[in-house]
Amino acid sequence: MILPRAARFREIIRSFRGRRAFARRGPREEKMLTLYSRFVHPGDLCFDIGANVGNRVKIFLKLRARVVAVEPQCGCARALADAYGWNSLLTIVQKAVGQSEGSAELMISDASTISSLSRDWIDAVRGSGRFAAYRWDRKQPVQMTTLDRLIEQFGPPSFIKIDVEGYELPVLKGLSRPVGALSFEFVPELLDPAFESIRHLETLGRIRLNYSLDETMELALGDWVTAPEMVRILADLRGDPRLFGDVYVQFL
């Protein structure tokens, strides 16, 4: 299809702005590049599950990886396309990820980064005071896929980043084979799903684990640990609403 001249001009402007923003690099991005370069190398395939508007997509693309960005929210998917659609290494999948294919209702927050499929997570982070000021008043029907299905479509990833506001366990339950490495978010108010996630990953293969807190972009442990050791470390954080973090898992 040949676009009208005005539409072609708007596309050129969006591409120019996206490329200019992509070229910028600050201290936080440098730390992110250092962290993720442990897991991601040029030519690798990455899945960004819960890509939102792409702050990790940008890093993976800068590392010259092929990126499948999975994001169900309509506005965020449009923002991803506007910012990075010019990059041939990126594929955007406007779906949610869970334990099985089908459909669901996403609870939309007034902050897009905390929209969620998990009512338990919403209740926990409101009850703790972490996000007491936010509301989840809208719902958006979403199509569901699974990690296994994405692997069938795009191939086995070297790294999977999962940040889906309390829905990490169902996402991981949709994975039935080892991958290179992955990360998933946790909050101390609701740790049981993180413990179950670790136990599920243990059934897929030998693993070692580390973690990071808040947005430090640094691994907290000098040495990687076993699953039981990671469970004990996370248990010591239980209930502290000032903290959040990501568990990093490597398959051996």
> Taking the domain 19-251, which CATH number applies?
3.40.50.150
Compute the average pLDDT of residues 4-12: 44
- Paired with 162 in beta bridges are 49, 184
pLDDT of residue 23: 59
Q: How many CB atoms lie within 10 A of CB 177?
A: 11
Helix ranges (H only) for the chain are 5-23, 27-36, 55-62, 74-84, 119-127, 147-154, 168-173, 192-204, 227-235
More confident residue, 201 or 25: 201
**CA–CA separation, 144 vs 34, rounded Å?**
32
φ, ψ dihedrals at 147, nearest 5°: -60, -40
Give bridge partners of residue 103 from the DSSP assignment.
143
Tokens linked to 107? 């609870």
DSSP secondary structure code for residue 73 in this structure = -
Q: Which of 137, 165, 151 is nearest to 50 (CA)?
A: 165
Residue 19 — very low, low, confident or very high, per pLDDT cuts 50/70/90?
low
pLDDT higher than 80, residue 7: no
pLDDT tens digit sequence for 37-52 = 999 999 999 999 999 9
| pLDDT at residue 11 is higher than 70 | no
pLDDT, greater one: 13 or 80: 80
Averaged pLDDT for residues 166-173: 98
pLDDT reported for residue 100: 98
As a whole number of Å, the end-to-end CA separation of the chain is 48
The whole-angstrom separation of Cα 179 and Cα 175 is 9
Domain boundaries, the chain: 19-251
> pLDDT class for 27, splitting at 50, 70, 90?
confident
The whole-number pLDDT of residue 17 equals 53
Amino acid at 140: Q
User: pLDDT at position 143, please?
Assistant: 98
Query: Which tokens in the block code for residue 138?
Result: 């809208």
Across the chain, mean pLDDT equals 92
Output DSSP code: residue 113. G
Q: For 132-153, how does the pLDDT look when each residue is reduced to its tens digit (9 = 90+)? A: 999 999 999 999 999 999 999 9
Span 190-214, average pLDDT: 98
Q: Is the dihedral of CA 191, 68, 116, 149 positive or negative?
A: negative
pLDDT at 82 over 70: yes
CA angle 60, 178, 91 (to 5 degrees): 35
* pLDDT of res. 6: 45
| Mean pLDDT computed over 111-134 | 97
Predicted pLDDT of residue 26: 76
Give kind and range of the element (H or E) at residue 96: strand 96-97
In percent, how much of the chain has pLDDT > 90? 88
pLDDT of residue 3: 44
pTM of the model: 0.91
The pLDDT score that the predictor gives to residue 171 is: 98
Q: For residue range 230-247, what is the model confidence (pLDDT) as tens digits?
A: 999 999 999 899 999 999
Interval 77-92 mean pLDDT: 97
State the maximum Cα–Cα separation within the chain, in Å, rounded to a whole number: 61
Q: How far apart are CA 64 and CA 190, in angstroms?
A: 35
Task: Look up residue 195 and give its two tokens.
Answer: 């413990």
CA distances for 44 relative to 53, 175, 237, 247, angstroms:
21, 19, 34, 21
